[in-house]
Structure 1
Amino acid sequence: MAYTHMVLENCQVSPPQGSLPTASLPLTFFDIPWLGDLHVKRLYFYEFPHPTHHFTQTILPTLKNSLSLTLHHFFPLVGNLMCPPPPTKPYILYNNGDSIPLTIAECTINFNHFISNHPRDIIEFDQLVPKLPPIHISNETFVIPLLALQVTILPNSGICIGITYRHVVDGLTSIHFMKLWASIFSGKTCLEKFLPHYDRDVIKDTNGVEAVLLDEYFRMRSSWKDFILGNTNALSIDHVQAKFVLNRSQIEMLKKWIFSQCKNIDNGSSLPKHLSRFVVTCAFTWVCFIKAQDKIGALNSSDVDEVHYFVFPADCRDRLEYPVPKTYFGNCLALCVSEAKKSELVATNGVAVAATAIDKAISKLQSGPLKGAERWISDLMNLLKLGRMCTVTGSPSLGFYETDFGWGSPKKVEMVNQQTKNISLSECGDEKGGVEVGLMQTKSAMDTFSSIFEQSLNFLN
C-alpha cells in the first residue's frame, strides 16, 4: 500500500517547570522479573474528521499542556530505570528537568485500514509507534528511558496516539496514565480514581522472594551489554498483524460446549471453576494457535505427547492477604503457567482440555498467588528455551476502550505484538461482553490461523 509518513515535530515534554524535586522510587519483587529491555507498544485510534492544520493549531497546544500536567502525577515515567552493578538494587530516578519524547507525525494511510481486523503489514504499525530513547551506560550503570509518545494525524479522518513504555509498570498502571491524560485534556473532573499510589510499603515480602529474584536478575544483567545495546528490533516485511473477535454470544456458546465436553472427562470431575470470558478466549485461541503451528510444520510432528505451555500474568492487587490500592504504581502481577500435551490440544475436545488447564493455573493462583514466586524468572527462562510457550498480554477487563479524550471512545486499540508466540487481549470496542484477540504472524501462518479460527467457530454452531 502506497502511503507517505512525515514527522512534523519532535519535542520534549516535562512536568511543569520547577513543580517537582529530584526523586527516586525503589522497586519491589513484583518489578524484578520485568527488568531490562521489555517494553509494551500500544496504539489508540480516534475519529477526527479534520485537516492536519486544525489539529496542530487548536488541539496540539492543549494536548501538550495536559500531558505535562499528567507527567507531574506520573513523574517516575519521565525518569530512567537505573540498573547499577550488584549488589545495588535497581531503582527509578527522576531528575528535575527530565522530559519524555513526543513525536507529532502525519500519515496518509486510510484510517479505516488501520481500524479494521484484517491482516495489516506490521511495518505500517511501526510508523505509528513512538521510539524509546536509547539505553546507555554510565559508571557501569544501565540507564534505561521509560516512556515515549507519538501522535499521528491521519488527515480528515483520524488521530492515532501511540505509547511505548518499559515494563516498570503493568498494564493497569499504563491505562491509568492514559486515562488521566485524557481526563485532564477533556476537562473531566474524575481525576482521583486514576492518580498513582507510590507507597512501596503496601507490598509485603513475607516469604523472602526479593532476594532470590535479585540473584536471578543479577545473573541475567551480566549479559545485557551485548543483548540490549546490540538489539535493533528489526522488523520482517513478511509479518502481519490481525485481530480476531469473539462476540458475547460466541463466548457463551463456547462456555456451554466446554462444560458439555468436560462432563465427559474424568466423569465430570474436571469441570472448570473459573470459566470466564478470559479463560474461554484463551483456551480457544491457544488450541487454534497449536493447530495452526502444527499444520505449517512449526511443531515437532514425531512427538504427540510433547507438552506445550500457556503463560499469562494475573493482577494481584485484589488477591494478596493485604490490601493494595487499585492505582498502585508499578507491577503487581503473578506469573501463571498452564500446560497440556499437544495430542490433547489438537483433539476434538482440545478447547475443553485447554480451559481445564488454564482453570487449574487460576485455582493455584487463588490458593496462594505468591506460591513459587521465587521461581518466576527461572521458570520463564526455562520455558523460553523449550520454545513451546504461548504468552498473553493485556486483558478484556482493563478497559482500553474507556480512554476518551473528548473525541469519543477509540475506534480501535492495538497492542503491537513483537513476538509470534504472543497474543494480546482487550475488551471488544463494538460489543459489550466481547473480546478482541491480537496476533502477529507471517502472512502464510496468519492465513492458516485465520482459517482454523473460523472453522473451529463454525464447528461449534
Structure 2
Amino acid sequence: MSSVRIHRTSAVILPTTNLAPLPLSPFDAMFVSSEVPLNYVYMYPSPTTASFPELAESLKHSLAQTLQSFHPFAGELTYLSSSRTIAIVFPGARGVAFIEAESTDIGLKGLLDAEELDTEALRLLVPDIRRDVLPAPVMAVQVTQVVGGVVVGFALDHTVADGHGLFHFLNTWTAATAAANGRSGSSNPKPLPLHDRNLVRFDGEEEFNRAVLRHFTPNLPRIREPKLHDPTAEEQQHPVIQETFVFTATALQHLKQRRHIASMNPVGEQLVPSTFVAIAAHGWVSFSRAISESSADDDKPVFILFLVDCRPTLLMSLPADQVYAGNCVVFCKAGLKGSELTAPNGITRALWTLTKVVKEAKADPLKYKAEVIADNQGDRMFVVSGIPRFGYELDVGFGRPARIERARLGYHSEACLMAGREPGSVHAMVAMPAENMPAFRQAFMVDGVQGRP
C-alpha cells in the first residue's frame, strides 16, 4: 500500500485583507455540491537544476504572485445566514494550503509505466479539500517528492471556476514559475482575468440561483447529505476503473475522416465534426455498446451529458485582453435509444444529435439551464468533460510534464478530455464501472487509439 509523508503545510495568503465577499452566480451555484473537486496530477522527472526544497519554494512564491490576479482561488466558500446564500469570503490568514510531502514507495517510473492506473497512489498526491458542511476551502496544492521525480497535485472547487478559468490560472502560475527560474516558459497569458459575477447576469437569475441552491443544497450550511452506506464498502462492491486513452493526431484524423464519410444526413449534407464532438460521439456509442452487453432493455435511452461554454454569447462584448475566469458553462444533455446508438449507423445519429445540441446551446445557452437541476445520474448516462485544447503546454520551470492525470473523476461513466503531450494529440481520461470497461475499451480503441500515454 502506498503512503505519503507530509513534511510541511503552510498558507499562501493574499496581500490584501479587505476584500468584499464574492457572491456566487447561478453558473457557480450548480457546482456547490459536486462530489469531486477539479483535480490534476502533474508528473515530472527530478530536476537537475534545483533541489526539492528550492523547487517547492519557487512554486510557492509564484503561486502567491498569481493569486493576486486570481483572488477567488484563495477564498473560502461560506454560508451567509443573513441572506441564506453562499459566497466566497477571504479570511486573512488562511489562503491556499501549500503542502510539501514525500513518498519513498511511489516512484515516477511506476506511475508512468503501469498498465493499470494506480488511482490509490494518485489520490494520495492530491490534497483533500472536500467538506460536507461549509465553510470549505476553495483550493489547495501539494508538491510531493517521489522516487525519481516530483509530482504537483492540486484540487480546486468547481464552484469557483470552470475549465477555461482553471487553465488560465495554471498558465499564469506556471509562466510565473518559469520566469522566476530564468526561462520564458511555453505559456504567456496576456488576458486579464475578470471575476465580477455581474458580468454573467441574466433575466431571472436570482430566482434561478435560489432554485439551484434549494435543489442541490436544501440544508445549508450542509452541502452534502450523509451517505446511507459506507462509501469505501460501496466502492469495493461496485468498483470503478480509470484508464487513459491517447488519440494521436493521426488517429484523430482517421476518426474524423471516417465519421465525415459516414455522417451524411438524409438530404445529402455532410458534417465535419470538431475534435470534441468526434470523440464525444465515439465515446457515447462505445459506452452504449458496453452497457448493452449487460442490459436486456436496449430500447431505453442512453444519455450523454456535457458542458457548453457560454462566453461567446454572454460575454461577446469583452475586449480581447480580458477573460472571465468564473464559471460560464451550462449542462447539455442528449439521449438516443440504445438500439439506435449500437446500430451500424449509430455513429451518424450520435454525431448529428450532438452537433444539433451544441449549435443550439451556443446560439442560446440559457435554453438548457433547466438541465442544471435535472436528474443527471444513472447507469445509462455518459459524461464528457474537459477541454481538448489545453494540457501539456504547462511548464513549472523545468520542462513539460511527463504525464498528467486526474486523480479521480466525478462520475462513474465519464471521459475527461485534454490536449496530449504530442502535437495534435488528445488524451481521454475515462472512468467506467469495472464490469463495463472491457467492452468499452474494445469499442473505443479503434483507428490507432492507444491504451495509455
Coarse TM-score class (shorter-chain normalised):
0.7 to 0.9
Do the aligned partners of residues 191 and 20 (structure 1) sit closer, same or farther apart at CA in structure 2, a change above 3 Å counting? farther
* Uncovered stretches (5+) of structure 1, i.e. residues with no partner: 137-141
Which position in structure 2 is the counterpart of 1:10? 9
* Number of matched pairs: 433
Do the aligned partners of residues 294 and 113 (structure 1) sit closer, same or farther apart at CA in structure 2, a change above 3 Å counting? farther
Which position in structure 2 is the counterpart of 1:204? 201
**Deviation, structure 1 residue 356:** 1.4
**Residue type matched to 2:150 in 1?**
I
Matches within 5 A, 1:35-74: 35-38=32-35, 39-49=37-47, 54-56=51-53, 58-74=54-70
Which position in structure 2 is the counterpart of 1:370? 366
TM-score (norm 1): 0.85
Alignment partners' CA distance in 2, 1:54 and 1:428: 28
Q: 2:416 aligns with which of 414, 420, 424?
A: 424
Alignment partners' CA distance in 1, 2:397 and 2:162: 25
What RMSD in Å do the two structures reach over aligned CA positions? 2.8
Do the aligned partners of residues 4 and 341 (structure 1) sit closer, same or farther apart at CA in structure 2, a change above 3 Å counting? same
Which position in structure 2 is the counterpart of 1:252? 253
Which position in structure 1 is the counterpart of 2:268? 268
Do the aligned partners of residues 372 and 424 (structure 1) sit closer, same or farther apart at CA in structure 2, a change above 3 Å counting? closer
**Deviation, structure 1 residue 313:** 0.6
Do the aligned partners of residues 112 and 194 (structure 1) sit closer, same or farther apart at CA in structure 2, a change above 3 Å counting? farther
Q: Does the alignment pair 1:163 with 2:154? A: yes
**Residue type matched to 2:70 in 1?**
F
Any idea what the Cα deviations from partners look like across 1:55-112, whole Å, max 9, x if unmatched? 12x2222222222222232222222122335853322111322322222222332313
Q: Does the alignment pair 1:112 with 2:75? A: no
Alignment partners' CA distance in 2, 1:236 and 1:285: 23
Do the aligned partners of residues 225 and 202 (structure 1) sit closer, same or farther apart at CA in structure 2, a change above 3 Å counting? closer
Q: Does the alignment pair 1:448 with 2:439? A: yes
Do the aligned partners of residues 195 and 410 (structure 1) sit closer, same or farther apart at CA in structure 2, a change above 3 Å counting? farther
Any idea what the Cα deviations from partners look like across 1:169-218, whole Å, max 9, x if unmatched? 1111111222222122222598662642123332231x324412422322
Which position in structure 2 is the counterpart of 1:319? 313
* Percentage of matched positions with identical amino acids: 24
Please say if residues 29 and 212 of structure 2, whose CA atoms lie closer than 8 Å, have aligned partners that are also in contact.
Answer: no
Q: 1:282 aligns with which of 261, 273, 280?
A: 280
* Uncovered stretches (5+) of structure 2, i.e. residues with no partner: none
Alignment partners' CA distance in 2, 1:171 and 1:439: 17
TM-score (norm 2): 0.86
Q: 1:150 aligns with which of 138, 142, 155?
A: 142
**Deviation, structure 1 residue 278:** 0.8
Helix, strand or coil at the partner of 1:193: coil
Which position in structure 1 is the counterpart of 2:405? 414
**Residue type matched to 1:266 in 2?**
P
Which position in structure 2 is the counterpart of 1:352? 348
Q: Does the alignment pair 1:178 with 2:170? A: yes
Please say if residues 202 and 324 of structure 1, whose CA atoms lie closer than 8 Å, have aligned partners that are also in contact.
Answer: no
Alignment partners' CA distance in 1, 2:318 and 2:231: 35
Q: 2:299 aligns with which of 270, 295, 305?
A: 305
Do the aligned partners of residues 91 and 409 (structure 1) sit closer, same or farther apart at CA in structure 2, a change above 3 Å counting? same
**Residue type matched to 1:312 in 2?**
F
Q: 2:28 aligns with which of 28, 31, 34?
A: 31
Please say if residues 43 and 404 of structure 2, whose CA atoms lie closer than 8 Å, have aligned partners that are also in contact.
Answer: yes
Do the aligned partners of residues 117 and 401 (structure 1) sit closer, same or farther apart at CA in structure 2, a change above 3 Å counting? farther
Q: 2:376 aligns with which of 361, 364, 383?
A: 383
